[in-house]
Amino acid sequence: MATLDLSNQRILVTGGAGFLGRQVIEQLCTAGAKREKITVPRSRDYDLRSLEACQQVVQQQDIVIHLAAHVGGIGLNRDKPAELFYDNLMMGTQLIHTAYQAGVQKFVCVGTICAYPKFTPVPFKEDDLWNGYPEETNAPYGVAKKALLVQLQAYRQQYGFNGIYLLPVNLYGPEDNFDPKSSHVIPALIRKVHEAQQKGEKQLPVWGDGSPTREFLYSTDAARGIVMGTQFYNDIEPVNLGTGEEISIRNLIELICDLMKFEGEIIWETDKPNGQPRRCLDIERAEQAFGFTAEVGFKEGLENTINWYRQHAT
């Protein structure tokens, strides 16, 4: 397995100031990258939906790791499908094209498991990616990100451009987005339980019926997987990053309530959407291709996330 020496590489990390991005930068440095050679374009300075901004940020870069995304939970997906499709497609497509034009050596694209078909057999294998349409609420986001895989494969075929595509499962961890308007399920539930405790409430309303299953990957594990892919993987096939462990939303909220010592009643709002019925990845390819396996146990990761939130909740 040929190793990409990161010590002399100029690396652009889009979304590098975000929840996952900060962890990726730490893992890059741990793997030998020089912090002063890592560039993080900020959205206030560069609107990556603009071709000109993409052309500017890729200049003089050896590696581009594309993490920037307009993303959120079921609520945001339902309210802003057009924005999610347009923003994610334009950012990714133009970055890939300008990186190729600028002579970037390697492009690492971080996709989404929202790209998988709604009824993908569990565990999701990478070869199932095209066997159906994604779950309706997150299809615009998922399809936009999946188009970037097609682009990278086409650019490899026609131009020999080295682009790889990684598919991390749902992420969680300290510093996650806890905004109720756009957060994903774990931070949303932690905040909801915390606020119920602060107000002395004895009931906790939760969307859906608790039946869907999800898989969660701790942010430092995800970042390590992305950096390992950057160092060791140079193939055309997409690669899942996950734990291979599945938990139902019902069991998840019970675990969070237990860890946070909330003893009230959970009220299932069955008129609200459930999202995709099951989600769990086949993680064999990542282990075989570049030796990645997750290290942080789920309960430990949840405790770390809860503790961080309680320390920073206003």
Peptide bond into 123 cis (omega under 30): yes
Give me the residue spans of the domains in the chain. Answer: 11-175+216-245+278-295
Q: What percent of the chain has pLDDT over 70?
A: 98
In whole angstroms, what is the distance from residue 262 CA to residue 196 CA? 9
Q: What is the mean pLDDT of the chain?
A: 94
**Does the pLDDT value for residue 204 go beyond 60?**
yes
- Ligand-binding annotation for 302, yes or no, is no
Kindly state the average pLDDT of the residues 282-291.
Answer: 98
17 is in an annotated binding site: yes
What is the distance between the terminal CA atoms of the chain, rounded to a whole angstrom? 47
Q: Domain 11-175+216-245+278-295's class?
A: alpha beta
Do residues 176 and 118 lie in contact, with contact meaning Cβ atoms separated by under 8 Å? no
Beta bridge partners of 171: 217
Give catalytic residue positions.
Answer: 141
Q: Is residue 66 part of an annotated ligand binding site?
A: no
Would you say residue 17 has pLDDT above 60? yes
249 pLDDT exceeds 80?
yes
Q: Is the pLDDT of residue 138 over 90?
A: no
Tell whether residue 145 is among the known ligand binding residues: yes
pLDDT at 277: 83
- What is the pTM (predicted TM-score) of this model? 0.93
Nearest to 131 by CA among 115, 144, 147: 115
Angstrom distance (rounded) from CA 249 to CA 246: 10
